[in-house]
Amino acid sequence: MSEGSRGDSLAFGQVVIGPPGSGKTTYCHAMREFLGRLGRSVAVVNLDPANEALPWPCALDIAELITLPDVMDSLGLGPNGGLLYCMEYLEANADWLRERLQGLRGHYVLFDCPGQVELYTHHESLKNVLAQLAKWNFRLAAVHLVDSHYCTDPGKFISVLCTSLSTMLHVELPHVNVLSKMDLIEQYGKLAFNLDYYTEVLDLSYLVDHLASDPFFRNFRRLNEKLVEVIEDYSLVSFVPLNVQDKQSMRGVMQAVDKANGYSFGDQEHRSLEALMSAAVGADFHFASTLAVQEKYVQSQDKAVEEEVMDL
């Protein structure tokens, strides 16, 4: 008999990961509110020992077990080494986590994870904890948040693609990559291509050509070409755009995650979703739609093409 078959009921949820400042905690709060409106019982679990002042209530906090400041003070470690130690300590005390999670059975669980990239690209402890969750009958999808401002810098975007691919291969969970803070993307600068180019990760040779216009990156064209080849050979990375203030955007991410982790909602939730999506604009949402941003870039490119045709 497997460990997960000993009376543990099936539970669904999301493992929210990503670099610091990508909006993981804000996403967890927004998704909890959104799913709660659909009738799901949602619980947020904080697995970030560096997250001392949580802005939102959570059902379970790793601070009950260990905190980063305590580790740094007692062991003389820096923030990076201390965070790795905390995850190793959590792995060693997996029974504590399982006992606490028993009280959340029947809930859809959002795991708010630390922002240290090493945890998702090559360190084993968090990966092993997630493997334990799978044995305990949790059906999870990794939601990897990336700040959308990286789209405005081709070099940084290639770096993000490499990190996302490495994370997908290492974490070994159904994976949804998300471009967060789409409502702020126009403040970061003009995109070189349509938004679809970045979300669908289309022909990256255009991105290499765009990089070559910079004298610094021109010297590394061959390296960039090889990095792009690796990303395209795996053909795994794509992104879902997210604006947490836009219910259409939240719905798109929710549906992508539900498809990834196998969650299937019933008729009552479907009716709640339809009612929510058809509701008039209220004080709880600000509908600066992501689609409007996308349409703007599509229209601007179409206009540019028309002008080129006229010039000919």
Binned at pLDDT 50, 70 and 90, residue 289 comes out as very low
CA 268 – CA 223 distance, rounded (Å): 52
Residue 307 lies in a domain: no
- Percent of the chain at pLDDT exceeding 70: 85
More confident site: 57 or 283: 57
Q: Which ranges constitute the DSSP H helices of 93-153?
A: 94-102, 118-121, 125-135
138-150 pLDDT tens trace: 999 999 999 998 8
- Which residues have CB under 8 Å from 214's CB, separation 6+? 155
Contact 215, 257 (CB under 8 A): no
Query: For residue 76, what is the domain's CATH number?
Result: 3.40.50.300
Binned at pLDDT 50, 70 and 90, residue 1 comes out as very low
Residue 34 lies in a domain: yes
Q: Write phi, then psi, for 239 (nearest 5 degrees).
A: -130, 150
Place of tokens 């053909």: 235
- Alpha carbons within 13 A on the beta-carbon side of 219: 2
CA 121 – CA 308 distance, rounded (Å): 44
8-67 pLDDT tens trace: 788 999 999 999 889 999 999 999 999 999 999 999 999 999 987 777 889 999 999 999
Q: Which domain holds residue 91?
A: 11-201+237-265+277-297
Q: How many domains does the chain have?
A: 1
51-108 pLDDT tens trace: 877 778 899 999 999 999 999 999 999 999 999 999 999 999 999 999 999 999 899 9
DSSP E strands, the chain: 11-17, 42-46, 60-61, 108-112, 138-147, 175-180, 239-241
CA 201-203-208 angle, 5° bins: 100
Determine the pLDDT at residue 283: 41
Residue 229 lies in a domain: no
Instruction: Give the chain's length.
Output: 312
158-192 pLDDT tens trace: 999 999 999 999 999 999 999 998 888 777 778 87
pTM for this prediction: 0.83
- Which residues have CB under 8 Å from 288's CB, separation 6+? 183, 243, 245, 246
More confident site: 301 or 51: 51
Using only C-alpha atoms, what is the Rg of the chain? 21
- Alpha carbons within 13 A on the beta-carbon side of 135: 13
pLDDT for 202 beyond 50: yes
Determine the pLDDT at residue 46: 95
Residue 154 lies in a domain: yes
Determine the pLDDT at residue 224: 87
Residue 222 lies in a domain: no
Three-class SS of residue 79?
Answer: helix
CA 29 – CA 136 distance, rounded (Å): 25
Residue 245 lies in a domain: yes
HEC states along 241-278?
A: ECCCCCHHHHHHHHHHHHHHHCCCCCHHHHHHHHHHHH
From the list 76, 31, 30, 24, the residue with the least C-alpha distance to 46 is 24
